[in-house]
Structure 1
Amino acid sequence: MESPELYIEALVFASEQSIRVEEIMYCLQASFERDFSIDEVTESLANIKDKYTNENLAIELVYLNNGYQFLTKKNYHPVISLLQLQRSKKKLSQAALETLAIIAYKQPVTKTDVEQIRGVNCDYSIQKLLEKELIAINGKSEALGKPILYGTSPLFMDYFGINTIEELPHIKELTDNSTSIGEQQE
């Protein structure tokens, strides 16, 4: 085997989520019974990334959530949005979106904490978010009864195109001051 690039490209393509360099190295080493250096793998990834900068290709290699993934280039997003609208049956409900937002911003958080913020039972929403793998169980709280702690999953990071939770918009960025009454003082 001369260059691992085609194998790495196949691994990234076959991965449903972003794939880390360590995972790529493990797969290559197990398959070819030889050591692969991080430099060798990252150089191959850089070559693959360069290969997909071609204007005639609709996808690109993107570093996301501490790994690599093939994604559609931004100029094709409008047509992809139409496909996603067509498949909107799988869309999250308003309740699930609210629950997901609370978990994302307050994690690690218990179901009781989420319910106190929302003011309603969240069993169904949390179950759906777990099924869709947008949240994950992050252990148990030290509180009475040791309730389960929830947090966002790697799929959440992939879905929203972020590497860390710190990249989520701050609440101040999301508020619209145009509907406020009176003058604001600084």
Structure 2
Amino acid sequence: MEMASKEANLEALLYAAGDNGLDEQNLVELLELDGEELSQVAEKLKKDLASNTDSGIQLIHVSHTYKLTTSPQTAKIIEKYFQKDLTKNLSQSALEILAIVAYRQPITRVEIDDIRGVNSSGALQTLIWRGLIEANGKKDAPGHPKLYVTTDYFLQYFNYQSLADLPLIEDFEDNAKDDEEVDLFDAKGKADLNMQKEGQ
């Protein structure tokens, strides 16, 4: 099988990393490059993406971290997409993350990953784009990871006056069978989640 180019490997890593991107040190180790080589590879990928008029993705470099984001010219279609009905288009994983953030906020992405057992960066970014959660401060821990909380729009959409209106987790644990779907967001009756007792 043909080996991927350094640019392709960088693009794949940044895609997998999602909203958080990857810092230079991690990329140097993963790609087995030195700092200067990384800069050259990143610059080539950035130019390749910018020169491809059919690409809606761009590479950015902020605070020693590289990220893939949607390009400015796609703003209208992205906005249109996120104006569609929220819960109809949210994946099961996004709904699970939304529930975790709602009940455990403020919480970091790594803590969300620990609860779910899988990487949550992609679905987390979807919730941010849709205005349901947001970063609010950083945790006093190594790396100072972002802390995520629900937004006022989250309350508005699900018809809650405050977070105190959220259903009690204990109610679901008492009344639901192990495999039974329960409705955390019953104000609109749309978001059925399979409650996992671990970490909830």
- Asked which structure has the greater CA Rg, the reply is 1
Greater relative CO (CA pairs within 8 A, separation 6+): 1
What TM-score, normalized by structure 2, do the two folds share? 0.44
